[in-house]
């Protein structure tokens, strides 16, 4: 695949992943609001989304069921985001920035970040 086609495919797949995650994440208006806001902050609007891209690329090698592909894309990315949220915590790396923004525990507090990370993996 030529480089320009790969970049186009990657951009489309990343956009698909963002829309998918936004659709699957609970609304910030849904109770408990603070938990859902923290989850959305951690999971949306950022990252290269390489793991979902690998799932999508592998699915294109055969006859994949689109709903199953999307479920796998979301699952692998949300588990990755959970691991980042927990890794940023003070007891681990104590990072204050992730993707150029304050980490979850800096913005929402340690308890909220811990719960949001846990919720992202369920």
Rounded to 5°, the CA angle 13-4-49 comes to 25
Query: Is the pTM for the entire model greater than 0.85?
Result: yes
User: How many of the other CB atoms lie within 10 Å of CB of 99?
Assistant: 11
Topology given in CATH for the domain delimited by 3-120: Farnesyl Diphosphate Synthase (1.10.600)
Q: Which residues contact 84 (CB under 8 A, 6 or more apart)?
A: 42, 98
Strands (E) across the chain are located at 97-98, 101-102
d(CA 110, CA 105): 5
* 33-58 residue pLDDT tens: 999 999 999 999 888 999 999 999 99
* 42-98 residue pLDDT tens: 999 888 999 999 999 999 999 999 999 999 999 999 999 999 999 999 999 999 999
Extents of the domains making up the chain: 3-120
């Amino acid at each position: 695949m030529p480089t320009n086609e790969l970049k186009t495919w990657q951009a489309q797949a990343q956009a698909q992943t963002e829309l998918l995650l936004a659709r699957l994440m609970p609304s910030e208006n849904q109770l408990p609001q603070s938990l859902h806001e923290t989850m959305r902050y951690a999971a949306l609007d950022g990252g290269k989304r390489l793991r979902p891209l690998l799932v999508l690329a592998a699915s294109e090698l055969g006859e994949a069921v689109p709903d199953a592909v999307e479920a796998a894309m979301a699952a692998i990315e949300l588990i990755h985001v959970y691991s980042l949220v927990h890794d940023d915590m003070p007891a681990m790396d104590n990072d204050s920035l992730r993707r150029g923004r304050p980490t979850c525990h800096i913005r929402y507090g340690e308890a909220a970040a811990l719960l949001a990370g846990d919720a992202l993996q369920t």
